[in-house]
Amino acid sequence: MAPVFTSHQGEPPKSCLPSYFLSHPRPTCPATPSAAPGAGRLLPKQVLSGPPWMLFTLRGIGWGKCAIWPRRVSSVSCIHDASPSERSPMPSRHSSLARFWWTAALLTGALGCVDDAPSQPLEPRRAELAESNLVSNPSFETGTAGWASWQGTLLRETSTAAPGGSYVARVTRSTGTLYSLDDSPDTVPSAVAGTRYEASASVAAGSSSAVGKPLVIVLRERNASGAIVSVWESEPVSLKTTFQTLSVQATVQQTGDTLDVYLLQDNAVAGDAFLADAVNLQKVSTEPVLLWSDEFDGPAGSLPNPAVWNLETGGMWDHGRTLQQYTARPENCQLDGNGHLRIIARRERYTGEDGVTRDYTSARIQTQGLMERRYGYVEVRLKAPTGKGTWPAAWMMGSTGEWPANGEFDLFEGEGDAPTQAHGTLHAPGLAYGWDSNGGLVDMAPANVGDAWHTFGMFWDSTRVEWYVDRVKRMTYTKGSGGTWVFDQPNYVLLNLALGDIGGDPSGTTFPQVLEVDYVRWYAAPPTSP
């Protein structure tokens, strides 16, 4: 699948959603993103618990950013001429009561925030349901299967004005000031991190009392335990007697989460009803700014591409502190035939060409002199070993000069003694930035880093360096904030699996231990704009 990438600039105001969006008991529902100019609001943290009146009061405060990133590309590729899209800031809506509850929520930790961008309501037109639509019953032509209502009743009726066919859904308020039309079960039961979705629907007032009332389309991401990960909401439309189209876009934050979509009317009173039709949910693709990649496609058991990768050998790395002998054998470094590189550490007594004998073997590969670039965003998708004594790493160094004068970017370092932790670090003369401070540590407890695939990336230009985990920025270092800046030369990529030293003692560990790498990609821009 071709990679996708967009970035949005600006700092639109935050919006905090009613607790309905976050924790109401309701049937399952899918995720739906909005189209760009109406990119939706993103709530990037586990969000919110709290009384509906508090969270609803807080609507309309904050900022945020969104991005879309790929899972794989089909082959090594170089793609140009795609520029990131921009999103302009929108004016925030504040009230004294909102500011009061915003402060209270920050103090209690009860609030998460979402980013805003305007949706553009369209005037009535015949809706075209995309062939890639994931919604199984988008126009209610076969009844109301796959749909339910929260705090409302759901019926189907014929309509000559139906945008998507001959029928529409009629949702009538039963109780409360909020009521909804929900997909059930969730349209996307297992999403992939970085995938962008777009959802849209056609809506109209179903009663005179609902005319002028606000209605939004929402999508929500939840993890396997049902906890909220992210929520996106479109700008509201004011219901009319004629159909309008509204939409929202979103980018999945965590692989394996579910996405649900729903329509929600606010300020509801007895007698309110709305009509809905032509509900679309589909993946969104945009051109990437991908400069280079290795997807590790090749026959099982073969070494990585020799036009790109050098295999280093020897048994005295790190001044003899580590325990492995690096080899150039496929027994220690090979493709698996399914688009992955495997760096394999083994317990075996081995004497290398340097005459050094060690009790373990492994591999270290790098692109020096073969593939080097200056500036951009380098991302590695990998699954780390978790055995005690392992020290896996994905990193970069400047192409000329001796360490640390050449500079070093550690995209990922793991340590067998602390298998739940991932580190990012910068090294230069007078500088060791990150590791376990300044945002350079991510602890995934209770999970181990190696329990799932994760992406680790580093962006740098002439003024700053940023570290990302699963496409979320974790650390920023700016030029002039300490040490000597040495990061203006081309860099090359290194991948290795060491044993011992900070990884701990591997003597009680079961071997082989494997560092798996899905891809290495070099982009022109980071996952979120500065």
Indicate whether 286 pLDDT > 60. no
What pLDDT band is residue 322 in, cutting at 50, 70 and 90?
A: very high
What does the CA dihedral 477, 483, 487, 489 come to, rounded to 10 degrees? 170
Question: Which residues are CB-neighbours of 207 under 8 A, at least 6 positions away?
Answer: 172, 271, 272, 273
Q: What is the pLDDT of residue 54?
A: 29
CB 249 within 8 A of CB 197: yes
Question: Which residues are CB-neighbours of 240 under 8 A, at least 6 positions away?
Answer: 204, 205, 211
* Range 436-458 average pLDDT: 92
Using CA atoms, how far apart are residues 320 and 521, in angstroms rounded to an integer?
31
Q: What is the pLDDT of residues 490-506, one digit of tens each?
A: 999 999 999 999 999 99
What pLDDT band is residue 486 in, cutting at 50, 70 and 90?
A: very high
What pLDDT band is residue 94 in, cutting at 50, 70 and 90?
A: very low
- Closest to 472 (Cα-Cα) out of 66, 31, 114, 9: 66
Mean pLDDT (the chain, rounded) = 78
* Range 506-523 average pLDDT: 96
Indicate whether 127 pLDDT > 80. no
Share of the chain above pLDDT 70, in %: 74
Please give the structure tokens belonging to residue 491.
């860099």
Indicate whether 103 pLDDT > 50. no
Q: What is the pLDDT of residue 19?
A: 35
Chain centroid to CA 238: how far?
32
- The phi, psi pair for 320, rounded to 5°, reads 80, 5
Using CA atoms, how far apart are residues 103 and 89, in angstroms rounded to an integer?
22
Scanning the structure block, which residue is given the tokens 């790098």? 366
Full 3-state SS string of 177-217: CCEEEEECCCCECCCCCCCEEEEEEEEEECCHHHCCCEEEE
CB 53 within 8 A of CB 95: no
DSSP 122: B
Using CA atoms, how far apart are residues 251 and 249, in angstroms rounded to an integer?
7
What pLDDT band is residue 24 in, cutting at 50, 70 and 90?
A: very low
Regarding beta strands 357-362 and 324-326, do their DSSP bridges make them parallel or antiparallel, or are they unpaired? parallel
* Range 47-54 average pLDDT: 30
What pLDDT band is residue 530 in, cutting at 50, 70 and 90?
A: very low
Indicate whether 518 pLDDT > 90. yes
Question: Which residues are CB-neighbours of 397 under 8 A, at least 6 positions away?
Answer: 368, 403, 406, 407, 408, 409, 491, 492, 494
Q: What is the pLDDT of residues 56-82, one digit of tens each?
A: 323 332 222 222 232 222 222 222 222
Q: CA of 208: how far to CAs of 8, 186, 303, 397, in Å?
A: 39, 31, 70, 67
- In terms of phi and psi (left: phi > 0; alpha: psi -120 to 50; beta: otherwise), the region of 382 is beta
* Range 275-300 average pLDDT: 86
* Range 35-60 average pLDDT: 30
Q: What is the pLDDT of residue 471?
A: 87
Using CA atoms, how far apart are residues 233 and 249, in angstroms rounded to an integer?
9
* Range 293-316 average pLDDT: 96
Using CA atoms, how far apart are residues 288 and 77, in angstroms rounded to an integer?
11
Question: Which residues are CB-neighbours of 113 under 8 A, at least 6 positions away?
Answer: 14, 15, 16, 43, 61, 62, 63, 64
Q: What is the pLDDT of residue 496?
A: 98
Q: What is the pLDDT of residue 107?
A: 39
Q: What is the pLDDT of residue 130?
A: 57
CB 32 within 8 A of CB 40: no
Residue positions annotated with a catalytic role = 408, 413
* Range 433-445 average pLDDT: 89
Q: What is the pLDDT of residue 444?
A: 93
Using CA atoms, how far apart are residues 78 and 231, in angstroms rounded to an integer?
34
Please give the structure tokens belonging to residue 328.
């150039």
Q: Is 116 helix (H, G, I), strand (E, B) or coil?
A: coil
Using CA atoms, how far apart are residues 166 and 359, in angstroms rounded to an integer?
74
Please give the structure tokens belonging to residue 190.
């297992």
From the CA atom positions of the chain, what is the Rg in Å?
Answer: 26
Q: What is the pLDDT of residues 215-259, one digit of tens each?
A: 999 999 999 899 988 899 999 999 999 999 999 998 887 778 999
Q: What is the pLDDT of residue 284?
A: 82
Q: What is the pLDDT of residue 456?
A: 97
Using CA atoms, how far apart are residues 481 and 254, in angstroms rounded to an integer?
32
Using CA atoms, how far apart are residues 254 and 230, in angstroms rounded to an integer?
10
Using CA atoms, how far apart are residues 169 and 202, in angstroms rounded to an integer?
11
Indicate whether 385 pLDDT > 50. yes
What pLDDT band is residue 9 in, cutting at 50, 70 and 90?
A: very low
